[in-house]
Amino acid sequence: MNKNTTKIGYARTSTTDQRLDIQIEALKLAGCSIIREEQKSGTSLEGRPELKTILEFIHEGETLVVTRIDRSARSLHDLQIIVEILKSKGANLYATEQPVDTSTAAGKAFFDMLGVFAEFETNLRRERQAEGIAAAKIRGVYKGRSPKIDRYEIKRLLSEGLGPTQIARDLGISRGTVYQTQKSMGQV
C-alpha cells in the first residue's frame, strides 16, 4: 500500500451486539484519517449507507482500508462490485489482517482467492442452517416464524364492510394480500 495516500477506514459488525472498537483501533494504526462505521449485515451491499458513502466519494489514489475483506462483503460478487467501483475511481482496497492490497498483482490474486473462500463459507453456513431447520421440523420443534399478517383481522374488517384499500392502509399491508384473503373467503 502506498504510504502517502489517504486511507479511509471501514469498520462493520453484523449486529449492534458486537463491538467495533477492535476494528477501529486497527484502522487507526493503519493510518486511516477517516473511519466510517456501521452495524449492518454484510450479506448484501444494500442497506449499508456508510459503505455507499465511501464508494461514492472516494477519490483517485485513495485506499479503502478494512481489517478483513469480509468486513466489506460476504460474497465474491459483492466484493468484485466494490473493487470494480474502487478501480473505476483509481482507488484501492487494503486489508490489515490479510495480504490483500489491490494496488499490487499479488494482492489482487490473494483478494480473489479470499473472496472465493468467503463465498464458500457463506454457502456452507446456509446449508448447515437449512439442515438444522429440516432436522428441527422432523422433531416437531421448528414451527417457523409467526405470520406477520392476521388474516382473521382482514376477514373481520371485510365482514364489517371496509374496502380492500382502507384495510390495507389500516393494517400496513398490500391490497393484494387483502384481495387474496377475500378470494379465499369466496367473496371475489
Helix, strand, or coil (residue 129): helix
Identify the active-site residue in 14, 41, 75, 88: 14
**Is 14 a residue of the active site?**
yes
Whole-angstrom Cα distance, residue 30 to residue 66? Answer: 9
Whole-angstrom Cα distance, residue 125 to residue 21? Answer: 26
Which pLDDT tens digits describe the chain residue by residue (188 residues)?
656 679 999 999 888 888 999 999 999 999 999 999 998 887 788 889 999 999 999 999 999 999 998 888 877 778 888 988 998 999 999 999 987 888 888 877 876 777 777 778 888 888 998 898 888 888 888 877 777 788 888 888 988 988 889 988 888 888 888 898 888 877 65
CB of 8 closer than 8 Å to CB of 56: no
Q: Is 144 left (phi over 0), alpha (psi -120 to 50) or beta?
A: left
CB of 139 closer than 8 Å to CB of 96: no
pLDDT for residue 51: 94
pTM of the model: 0.59
**Mean pLDDT score across all residues of the chain:** 86
pLDDT digits (tens, 9 = 90+) for 83-121: 889 989 999 999 999 878 888 888 778 767 777 777 788
